[in-house]
Amino acid sequence: MTIVLADADAHFRDRLKTRLEKITGVNVVGQSSDSEEATAMILNRKPDIAILNSSLRDGLAIDVLRHIKRLMVLPTIIVVTDDPSRDNKIACSLAGADYFFDKATEDHEMINTIRLLCVPHSQIEASAPPIATLND
């Protein structure tokens, strides 16, 4: 599973990269602090997942999403944000984000989501308990 990280905070990117690469099969293939470079990285490296901060040094994650959406099939898009407002979440979702996490409080949920994305669907289906019926 390849991942591109885009966040203006280099410390956050480094911390996140370290945590992500502890997940078996994850490889961070690029990091950026600005929207233009992030867009180019996503288009050129075609990652499985792109983790974008909602506001980058020179633009917004929504700008990146809109641009790549016109040019390619999107990777799984995860937006991390300092602004977890409902309006921001809706705007990112409409622009193509698959997941939306509060940067300050939902880092564990984001890591767990990525772990689940790394598990092949056949393994999830095989290990999932059967769905209960109304008769149970």
Per-residue pLDDT tens, the chain, 136 aa: give them: 999 999 999 999 999 999 999 999 999 999 999 999 999 999 999 999 999 988 788 877 888 888 888 887 778 999 999 988 999 899 988 888 999 999 999 999 999 999 999 887 545 444 444 444 344 4
Total number of domains constituting the chain: 1
Q: Is residue 133 part of a domain?
A: no
Q: Is residue 3 part of a domain?
A: no
Q: Is residue 92 part of a domain?
A: yes
pTM: 0.79
Q: Is residue 112 part of a domain?
A: yes
Q: Quick one: 4 exposed, middle or buried, by C-beta within 10 A (0-12, 13-18, 19+)?
A: buried
Q: Is 68 in contact with 39 (CB distance < 8 Å)?
A: yes
Q: Is residue 2 part of a domain?
A: no
Q: Is residue 35 part of a domain?
A: no
Instruction: Note down the domain range covering 101.
Output: 9-30+40-50+58-76+85-119
Which residues fall within 8 angstroms of residue 111, CB to CB, at 6 or more apart? 19, 20, 23
Q: Is residue 109 part of a domain?
A: yes
